Amino acid sequence: MHDSHDAPHGFWTRYVFSQDHKVIAIQYTVTALAVGLVGLVLSNLMRLQLGFPGHFDFIDANRYYQSLTQHGMIMVVYLLTAILLGGFGNYLIPLMIGARDMVFPFLNMLSYWVYLVAVLVLLASFVVPGGPTGAGWTLYPPQSILPGTPGADWGIILMLVSLLIFIVAATMGGLNYVTTVLQARAEGMTLFRLPLTVWGIFMATILALFAFPALFVSGVMLLFDKVLGTSFFMPAIVSMGQPLAYEGGSPLLFQHLFWFFGHPEVYIVALPAFGIVSDLISTHARKNIFGYRMMVWAIVAIGVLSVVVWAHHMFVSGMNPAFGFFFAVTTLIIAVPTAIKVYNWLLTLWRGDIHLTVPMLFALGFISMFAIGGLTGLFLGNVSVDIPLSDTYFVVAHFHMVMGVAPILVIFGGIYHWFPKVSGRMMNDTLGRWHFWLTFVGAYAIFFPMHYLGFLGMPRRYYAYENYAFIPESAHTLNAFITVAALVVAAAQLLFLFNLAWSARRGRLASANPWGATTLEWQTPDTPPGHGNWGAQVPVVHRWAYEFSPPGQARDFVPQNAPPDAPVE
């Protein structure tokens, strides 16, 4: 970190083993999108089986459960967490706070390479004997390490090892992001002048630092149970007629540890999305974010509350039923700051000057999608309503809308928004609109009807639904419809990938600040920003990040670093 920041010259140091936060961000983003593509294909395999059972021989029950598990794990951890913190966090934190780079560039580079190793170990599990684990992304013991579950030998071991490596990578990155935000802000950039994007990523990173250890502990203990034969989580068991050597352990102990990580994980994904979407809405509506301070406190409150709600994932787990009262109350309390955020996004639109650009469309799509996903959370957080719905398709619809589709819409919006800064070129607008409409309407077509299959009582994680008397034929028809919608949405992502590749080389050249944004990343001397970001002089910040359409100004925005007295034409 004490080395001088002279721009590196060779190809390897510039593009591969680069310590520049912008290059590392692109590496993280590309890797996450690539592994996310695998997750997308896996989801379509599942949908093919559910929509047209028996028509596709190559999807047997084993493959189905492996696809289900790997889809979930890839999307939650290796795509969403990695792209939001490693991708957006890496690119935006230094630029938005006016720093030249992360405070520990070498550690930052290491974080990416360790993440890549985690991804490779995960992918390696597809080719080991028995294939990847099919235990569900929750990896609940005893089932995850016993015969009867696909990949119960090598698959689960590689899965756990990959997660442990990922956690090391996330911790390296996380220490860097938090320290950078705390220590490397430009002159004048007080905490209450930070853009909400930085606030969201900052709080999410703190959560990641302190929640991932719970996954680490449960992962190591599960590895002990699997490899060394300890009985941390394993009680006495007769598996497939054979008594095992385990004794006395508690499967619930694993669930507590897992969800102590697992629920904050939802907010590790959601908080950066909250932050980014706030900035998208404000910029493209040309209006300051409504209630900025309330938004910051809501992010902090959600972050703090998120560590005391974990057992709402365990209402029917067999834990002490008295816990249900406590966790139902805390869970519904967290709805209040979350609702405040939604109100403030809506009120930001009101009396704005709404430019319906592609990033704005994704942002508006996010509000709609997040609203329904958040509202269905009120069913599942309220313990007695949760009981008939838990482990049904209602849950599948809920979490896909709230922490799958909603954040991914923000990620897309963010990529369309910042692509001009990253590449110096605009993304193709027409392709972008097609991508938005197919994804947004398609996601509604997929997930809205799923709630009703959940009301009906169709359990999730079923390979087939033959001969269940309470499931009418029409439910199978609906499943076929959902599958068709899922295939269309998946195909629409090819438009996005094509747009990304095409625009990077052929896109219309972008100006330094095409959206008229106030935040510092748009005020760099070069586009894309050079090594060290700011040329000779780091910026000095004079105001908050949302000075849009102030009275008495000709232009409808004032950058954070514009001197206060300078006449703005």
Partner 1 sequence: MEASIDLARPARPATARVAVWLLLGVVFVLFVLCLLAYAMRMRLGDWRALPLPWQLNVSTAMLILSSASLQWASVAARRGGRCARGALFAAFVFAAAFLAAQAWAWQALVAQGRLASANPSNGFFFLLTGLHALHVLGGIVALLLAGRRGERLGLCALYWHGLLAVWLLLYATMAWLTPAIVDFICGVA
Partner 2 sequence: MAIAIVLIVIVIAALAFHALSPWWLTPLASNWGLIDDTLTVTLLITGAVFVAVNLFIAVAVIRYRHRHGRRAAYEPENRKLEHGLTWLTAVGIVAMLAPGLVVYAELISPPKDALVVEVVGQQWQWAYRFPGEDGRLGTSAMRFVGADNPLGLNPADPAGRDDALAVGPELHLPLGRPVRVLLRSKDVLHNFFVPPIRTRMDMVPGMVTEFWFTPTRAGRFDILCAELCGVGHYNMRGVMVVEPQADFERWLAGLPRFAAARQVAATPPGGDLAARGRGIAQARGCFGCHSVDGAASVGPGWRGLFGHEVELADGSRLKADAAYIAESIRAPAAKLVKGYPPIMPPYALDDGEVAAIAAYIASLDGAADGTR
- Using CB under 8 A as the binding rule, the residues of this chain from 32 to 61 that contact partner 2 are 60-61
Tokens of 199: 């606030």
- By the 8 A CB rule, do 394 and 451 touch? yes
User: Is there binding between residue 448 and partner 2 (CB under 8 A)?
Assistant: yes
Q: For partner 1, which stretch binds (CB under 8 A), given 36-44, 215-223, 394-402, 451-459?
A: 215-223
DSSP letters for 470-520: TS-HHHHHHHHHHHHHHHHHHHHHHHHHHHHHHHHHHSPBP-SSTT---SG
| CA–CA gap between residue 326 and residue 75 (Å, rounded) | 30
- C-alpha distance from residue 243 to each of 165, 238, 240, 246, 325 (Å): 33, 4, 8, 9, 37
Identify what 1 binds: partner 1, partner 2, none; CB under 5 to 8 Å per kind: partner 1
The contact pattern for partner 1, residues 496-535, with x = CB under 8 A and - = no contact, is ------------------------------------x--x
User: Is there binding between residue 217 and partner 1 (CB under 8 A)?
Assistant: yes
509 φ/ψ angles, rounded to the nearest 5 degrees:
-65, 140
Q: For partner 2, which stretch binds (CB under 8 A), given 33-41, 79-87, 261-269, 312-320?
A: 312-320
335 φ/ψ angles, rounded to the nearest 5 degrees:
-65, -25
Among 46, 84, 257, 489, the residue binding partner 1 under the rule CB under 8 A is 257
| CA–centroid distance for 96 within its chain | 20
Of 115-174, binders to partner 1 (CB under 8 A) are 171
| CA–CA gap between residue 524 and residue 529 (Å, rounded) | 6
Neighbours of 245 (CB within 10 A): 9
Of 138-167, binders to partner 2 (CB under 8 A) are 140, 142-143, 146-150
Identify what 382 binds: partner 1, partner 2, none; CB under 5 to 8 Å per kind: partner 2
Identify what 175 binds: partner 1, partner 2, none; CB under 5 to 8 Å per kind: partner 1
- C-alpha distance from residue 253 to each of 240, 258, 467, 539, 550 (Å): 24, 9, 36, 50, 55
Among 25, 45, 82, 175, the residue binding partner 1 under the rule CB under 8 A is 175
Tokens of 186: 């430009």
What is the Cα gyration radius of the chain? 24
Among 37, 128, 220, 475, the residue binding partner 2 under the rule CB under 8 A is 475
User: Is there binding between residue 475 and partner 1 (CB under 8 A)?
Assistant: no
Cα dihedral angle (491, 31, 208, 406), rounded to 10 degrees? Answer: -20
| φ/ψ bin of 6: left (φ > 0), alpha (ψ from -120 to 50), beta (otherwise) | beta
- Taking the least distance from each CB to partner 1, the nearer of 5 and 351 is 5
User: Is there binding between residue 472 and partner 2 (CB under 8 A)?
Assistant: yes
Among 249, 272, 381, 449, the residue binding partner 1 under the rule CB under 8 A is 249
- C-alpha distance from residue 203 to each of 71, 174, 179, 547 (Å): 26, 10, 12, 23
- Taking the least distance from each CB to partner 1, the nearer of 320 and 384 is 320
User: Is there binding between residue 229 and partner 1 (CB under 8 A)?
Assistant: yes
- C-alpha distance from residue 542 to each of 142, 202, 537, 539 (Å): 57, 21, 15, 10
Is 80 in a helix, a strand, or coil? helix
> What is the C-alpha end-to-end distance of the chain, expressed in Å?
41
Name which of 280, 225, 292 is nearest 253 in CA terms: 225
Identify what 478 binds: partner 1, partner 2, none; CB under 5 to 8 Å per kind: partner 2
Of 327-386, binders to partner 2 (CB under 8 A) are 328-329, 332-333, 335-336, 339-340, 342-344, 346-347, 349-356, 361, 364-365, 367-368, 371-372, 375-376, 378-379, 382-385
| CA–CA gap between residue 80 and residue 76 (Å, rounded) | 5
| CA–centroid distance for 371 within its chain | 17
- Taking the least distance from each CB to partner 1, the nearer of 136 and 532 is 532
Size of site (CB under 8 A) for partner 2: 119
- Taking the least distance from each CB to partner 1, the nearer of 325 and 468 is 325
Identify what 292 binds: partner 2, partner 1, none; CB under 5 to 8 Å per kind: partner 2
Q: For partner 1, which stretch binds (CB under 8 A), given 187-195, 244-252, 417-425, 552-560?
A: 244-252
Size of site (CB under 8 A) for partner 1: 44
- By the 8 A CB rule, do 135 and 161 touch? no
Identify what 13 binds: partner 2, partner 1, none; CB under 5 to 8 Å per kind: none
Of 75-134, binders to partner 2 (CB under 8 A) are 130, 134
Identify what 368 binds: partner 2, partner 1, none; CB under 5 to 8 Å per kind: partner 2
Q: For partner 1, which stretch binds (CB under 8 A), given 56-64, 230-238, 441-449, 545-553?
A: 230-238
Minimum Å gap between C-beta 143 and partner 1 is: 19
| φ/ψ bin of 376: left (φ > 0), alpha (ψ from -120 to 50), beta (otherwise) | alpha
Q: Give me the amino acid identity at 525.
A: P
Of 260-289, binders to partner 1 (CB under 8 A) are 260
Binding site for partner 1 (CB under 8 A): 1-2, 4-6, 100, 103-104, 171, 175-176, 178-179, 182-184, 209-210, 213-214, 216-217, 220-221, 224, 228-232, 245, 247-250, 253, 256-257, 260, 532, 535-538
